Amino acid sequence: MNISTSTQSQETKVCKPSLIGFSRKDLSDIAVDMGQEPFKGLQLFKWIYDKGSRDFDSMTDLPQGFRNKLITAYSLKRPTIKNEYISEDGTCKWLTSFEDGQQAETVMIPEGDRITLCISSQVGCTLTCKFCYTGTQRLVRNLSAGEIVGQVLVAKEQINNCVYKNLKEKKMISNIVFMGMGEPLYNFDNIKKSVEIIKDKNGIAFSHKKITLSTSGIIPQIKKCGEEIGLNLAISLHSPEDAIRTQIMPINKKYPIKELIKACKIYTQVSNTKLVTFEYVMLKNLNDSDEDAKKTCKIS
Ligand code: SF4
């Protein structure tokens, strides 16, 4: 009696991997492994990322046998929203919870017809930028590609079903920015895979021109990002002077402004996007003088 109880509890603890975060190629491979034609993987991809399906039984154009095998081996689990904070201007901040209980922020910013979604790439951060609350927390772990894409799927559903449910016309996410918790270039492989999935025309179908990666300026990864990912780049600048920028962002000691600008120029040469923007938080009596503004304009 005791033995069977313990076996049962072990079985219930086994977590089936979620297919959220699997690319079109991954799903075709799974389809083939399960005795299907590769295009069944494409159909599965469309159900997951285009239609946003939450259960295999709803995928009615897939053979029942294939669906049964998928149910046995995989789940379609997504992150969940633990808390929602809505400000007066309509900005929603969601505390997103992942399967192991770790949490990160996803933020939706409405502005006229546009909706910008800021997604997290890590839980915590190794950097200690002075203006950032996440900078006071230690790095817990990188988010997986599935957890990154999952934030987009959850936000789409939330926007359609909850935030704007009474509108006749559905509002859509117009821009995605990797600007939540964490330094995305320190989670390169998962960002790359998540962008591949988010861009895929058979699913979420988001143009690379509408996706921006915001970085504190991790120089060795910038060129690689241009070559291998290719999306809009935003640099946290915050001062034209190395001494001040290092105070605000200690990473500047390792990757100073001159080298950073050089890396940005290379980015525009190797990437399919030519857009690099610079972010500047004004901090009283530190980087907000007229002189700072003039010097910032002259950075080259
Ligand atoms: S890199 Fe981003 S998340 Fe990390 S401390 Fe700096 S601003 Fe905050």
Q: Which tens digit of pLDDT belongs to each residue from 114-163?
A: 999 999 999 999 999 999 999 899 999 999 999 999 999 999 999 988 87
The counts of H helices and E strands in the chain are 10, 10
Provide the pLDDT for residue 162: 80
Provide the pLDDT for residue 2: 38
* Interior/surface letters 132-153, b for 16+ CB within 10 angstroms, e for the rest: bebbeeebbebbbbbbbbbbbb
Ligand 1: centre distance to CA 121 (Å) = 11
Which residue minimizes the CA distance to atom 1 of ligand 1?
Answer: 183
Q: Which two tokens stand for residue 289?
A: 């003088």
Determine phi and psi for 23, rounding to 5 degrees. Answer: -80, 175
Percentage with pLDDT > 70 across the chain? 95
In SS3 terms, 98-131 reads as: CCCCCEEEEEEEEECCEEEEEECCEECCCCCCCC
> Which amino acid, 237?
L
Provide the pLDDT for residue 14: 67
Encode pLDDT of 17-55 as tens digits.
Answer: 999 999 999 999 999 999 999 999 999 999 999 999 999
Residue 12 has pLDDT above 80, yes or no: no
Provide the pLDDT for residue 161: 85
Residue 224's Cβ-count burial label (10 Å; 0-12, 13-18, 19+) is middle
Measured from the CA of 183, which atom of ligand 1 is nearest?
1
Encode pLDDT of 125-139 as tens digits.
Answer: 999 999 999 989 999
Q: Is 109 helix (H, G, I), strand (E, B) or coil?
A: strand
CATH 3.20.20.70 for the 80-298 domain, yes or no: yes
Provide the pLDDT for residue 163: 79
Bridge partners for 122 per DSSP: 142
Between helix 188-199 and helix 219-228 the angle, nearest 10°, is: 30
**CB of 135 closer than 6 angstroms to any ligand 1 atom:** yes
Residues of the chain with CATH 1.10.150.530: 14-73
**CB of 125 closer than 6 angstroms to any ligand 1 atom:** yes
Bridge partners for 93 per DSSP: 85, 107
Provide the pLDDT for residue 86: 92
> By C-alpha distance, which of 238, 243, 233 is closest to 276?
233
Q: Is 116 helix (H, G, I), strand (E, B) or coil?
A: strand
* CB-based contacts of 281, cutoff 8 Å, min separation 6: 131, 238, 248, 287
Bridge partners for 234 per DSSP: 214, 277
pTM of the predicted protein model? 0.92
Query: What is the CA angle 184-190-195, rounded to 5?
Result: 85
Helices of type H across the chain: 2-13, 24-33, 39-45, 64-73, 145-158, 188-199, 219-228, 242-248, 257-270, 290-298
Encode pLDDT of 96-111 as tens digits.
Answer: 999 999 999 999 999 9
Query: What is the CA angle 281-181-177, rounded to 5?
Result: 70
Provide the pLDDT for residue 171: 83
Q: Provide the pairing of β-strand 175-178 with 211-215.
A: parallel
Q: In the block, which residue shows the tokens 């079903």?
A: 161
Domain 14-73, CATH number (from 3.30.460.10, 1.25.40.10, 1.10.150.530, 1.10.287.70): 1.10.150.530
Spatial contact of 181 and 125, defined as CB atoms under 8 Å apart: yes
Ligand 1: centre distance to CA 264 (Å) = 19
Encode pLDDT of 202-240 as tens digits.
Answer: 999 999 999 999 999 999 999 999 999 999 999 999 999
> By C-alpha distance, which of 92, 64, 45, 27 is closest to 198?
45
Ligand 1: centre distance to CA 226 (Å) = 21
> Which amino acid, 87?
S
**CB of 179 closer than 6 angstroms to any ligand 1 atom:** no
Spatial contact of 20 and 151, defined as CB atoms under 8 Å apart: no
Residues of the chain with CATH 3.20.20.70: 80-298
- Residue 8's pLDDT band (cuts 50, 70, 90): very low
**CB of 132 closer than 6 angstroms to any ligand 1 atom:** yes
Residue 3 has pLDDT above 80, yes or no: no
